[in-house]
């Protein structure tokens, strides 16, 4: 049986390096807008009385002129899934509830309603199995076809470099997953989503890790360009109202359907980090 601990550490190190580059790019955008906003980094440790469980991470958050609220979190935790929850996780069971997980999670809510909100995460999880998951999706209150195409093109290219079937499969997975059934609407204009990209051995791990890294690179290559394109646009009170009402749909999805939110709450994660996806201001009409 493969000892996945060194691989977990490699994944963690890369997620942290991606976080650092994303945060630097977002701070640079704030500088360009005349803002001196910077990320605040808040370390946290998993709250547990069991010595066999633990881990933690760093929650990075910034509130600025362009980024009304953005969080970039990296966490690495281990332990046992709670009874009743273990059976819902790939490779875990009530008899074998142990896990390790490391990942990066990002959500940005923008001040200007012409700039889309965005979500991205990638992760590596081990139970009796080991796998990667993640993706990114664009969430514009006011959609622009140019932005949607540029975002999708970046991920289409990342997928094509690894498997010709990935983009269509993972795009459909995102379309199906980021959907609000009780509203019968999509959360945004999509992206890609993948999970349970299993690693049967070290060769498969290297292959899936390379793809996961390219997903992170695709996000970094595409979203800052879109933010810069739209951040200086004029907007009306009606535009802002549209953004605030759209955010309500985002909140509904994340609190009712999002598996990542549930995973964090069920594994003793940092509450502020888990709920950093929620926007600072929202309205329901």
Q: What is the pLDDT of residues 237-251, one digit of tens each?
A: 999 999 999 999 999
Alpha-carbon radius of gyration of the chain: 18
Contact 228, 32 (CB under 8 A): yes
Q: What is the pLDDT of residues 149-208, one digit of tens each?
A: 999 999 999 999 999 999 999 999 999 999 999 999 999 999 999 999 999 999 999 999
Contact 167, 192 (CB under 8 A): yes
| Cβ atoms within 10 Å of 45's Cβ, excluding its own | 11
Per-chain mean pLDDT for the chain: 93
pTM for this structure?
Answer: 0.93
Domains in the chain, ordered, with CATH? 5-277 (3.40.1500.10)
Contact 222, 154 (CB under 8 A): yes
Residues carrying an active site annotation: 119
H or E stretch at 57: strand 54-62
Q: What phi and psi values does residue 127 have, to the nearest 5 degrees?
A: -130, -125
pLDDT at res. 131: 96
Whether 97 shows a pLDDT value over 70: the answer reads yes
pLDDT at res. 266: 77
């Amino acid at each position: 049986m493969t000892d996945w601990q060194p691989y977990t550490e490699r994944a963690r190190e890369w997620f942290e390096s991606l976080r650092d580059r994303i945060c630097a790019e977002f701070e640079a955008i704030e500088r360009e807008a005349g803002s001196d906003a910077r990320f605040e980094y808040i370390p946290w440790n998993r709250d547990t009385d069991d010595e066999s469980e633990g881990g933690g991470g760093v929650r990075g958050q910034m509130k600025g002129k362009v980024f009304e609220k953005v969080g970039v979190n990296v966490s690495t935790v281990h332990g046992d899934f709670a009874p009743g929850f273990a059976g819902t996780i790939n490779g875990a069971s009530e008899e074998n509830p142990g896990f390790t997980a490391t990942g990066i999670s990002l959500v940005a809510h923008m001040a200007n309603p012409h700039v889309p909100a965005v979500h991205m995460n990638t992760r590596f999880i081990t139970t009796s199995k080991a796998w990667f998951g993640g993706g990114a999706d664009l969430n514009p209150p006011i959609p622009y076809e140019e932005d949607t195409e540029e975002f999708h093109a970046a991920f289409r290219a990342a997928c094509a470099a690894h498997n010709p079937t990935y983009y269509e499969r993972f795009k459909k997975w995102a379309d199906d997953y980021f959907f609000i059934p009780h509203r019968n609407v999509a959360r945004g204009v999509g992206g890609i989503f993948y999970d349970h990209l299993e690693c049967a051995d070290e060769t498969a791990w290297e292959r899936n890790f390379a793809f996961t890294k390219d997903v992170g690179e695709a996000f970094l290559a595409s979203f800052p360009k879109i933010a810069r394109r739209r951040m200086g646009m004029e907007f009306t009170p009606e535009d802002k109202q549209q953004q605030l009402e759209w955010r309500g749909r985002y909140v509904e999805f994340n609190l009712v359907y999002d598996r990542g939110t549930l995973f964090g709450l069920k594994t003793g994660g940092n509450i502020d980090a888990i709920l950093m996806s929620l926007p600072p201001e929202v309205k329901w009409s």
